[in-house]
Structure 1
């Protein structure tokens, strides 16, 4: 559950138990969106190399969109009677992924690592979409719309990692460090 174990109320036509599960799913995506927009900004500040300006400027619209996702997710939690939590402590305590591990690095290294970040975020959204099919089609629509944008952003990243045959330099990488090395 987000921060409170008890909802204050929920929307008409939704059971409290369904609303509690939907709030859990929303809070997980809120944590992911907050982490992702901070990670994207970290990369924006730490990217170097010949393609610096292209990547630096490509990331700002992604940061802004993902910040907007966080706001939408938090407002949906409140709409369902929950209490969204966007504090740094909550994020660190409850995330199921490792902190982004690349500091100052070339554009290709960051894009390689970011490829894996986007894979994880998108996979989690898709799992939520499946679970929300029966629980709440309104929240499912939100997840679908956000996933659409995330997949587009992921394509922007992967276009830098792909050769003319469609092969990704990061294929098979299991960690951000591996993906960064492979993308060099």
Structure 2
């Protein structure tokens, strides 16, 4: 006969103090100093928060897109959202690998983001695309600045992530979105 504390009963409603506070880094043998890792984690967490919001905007606009280009934009926004989701994971894992704590709770993300909140309802497609472009620009400006400063501190791993993944993905997505806002006639020149 099994007891309530035996192997079959889940231990529910567990509570504990935090094992590591947000905004701290634990010591790891990475060849990077504490201050460098602290700075990198702070910058990466801001970009992570903005990237999580951009991902959510892509999802929202993917659901809300309307009009003659519905199918094309619906698919494009879904594709971009998937790429942003991968960036979220890469950024969070980099922060953790530096000994930091990645921002993960949506309420905490909302406190850290620089991207303005959209209205709760549906906007015209050009406004949605403009909103996405603005969010991308905010992230690109911050990512380029962070990459430069983090590189100067000797953290080439974070620099590489920011340039090779965040900046390059963002630039390509901006190009695809911006071209949808060009007013070009379809059948007449």
Shift of 1:79: 0.7
The equivalent residue for 2:116 is: 98
From the CA coordinates, give the structure whose radius of gyration is larger: 2
Whether the aligned pair in 1 keeps the contact of 2:24 and 2:101 (CA below 8 Å) is: no
Structure 1 residues 86 and 35 mapped into 2: Cα distance closer, same or farther (>3 Å)? Answer: same
The equivalent residue for 1:155 is: 175
The equivalent residue for 2:84 is: 66
Structure 1 residues 5 and 109 mapped into 2: Cα distance closer, same or farther (>3 Å)? Answer: closer
Report the 3-state secondary structure (helix = DSSP H, G, I; strand = E; otherwise coil) of the residue aligned with 1:48. coil
- Give the TM-score taking structure 1 as reference length: 0.81
Matches within 5 A, 1:36-75: 36-75=54-93
Work out which of the residue numbers 138, 143, 154 in structure 2 matches 1:125: 143
Shift of 1:11: 4.3
Structure 1 residues 11 and 100 mapped into 2: Cα distance closer, same or farther (>3 Å)? Answer: farther
Whether the aligned pair in 2 keeps the contact of 1:37 and 1:63 (CA below 8 Å) is: yes
Shift of 1:118: 1.7
After superposition, what is the alpha-carbon deviation per residue over 1:51-98, rounded to whole angstroms, capped at 9, x for unaligned? 111111101111111111111111111111111121011111122232
Whether the aligned pair in 2 keeps the contact of 1:10 and 1:16 (CA below 8 Å) is: no
The equivalent residue for 1:141 is: 160
Which range is displaced more, 73-82 or 2-11?
Answer: 2-11
Would you identify which runs of 4 or more consecutive aligned residues in structure 1 move more than 3 Å?
none
- Give the TM-score taking structure 2 as reference length: 0.79
After superposition, what is the alpha-carbon deviation per residue over 1:85-112, rounded to whole angstroms, capped at 9, x for unaligned? 2101111112223212373233223222
Structure 1 residues 102 and 51 mapped into 2: Cα distance closer, same or farther (>3 Å)? Answer: farther
Count of aligned pairs between the two proteins: 163
After superposition, what is the alpha-carbon deviation per residue over 1:8-41, rounded to whole angstroms, capped at 9, x for unaligned? 2134221101100001011111101111100100
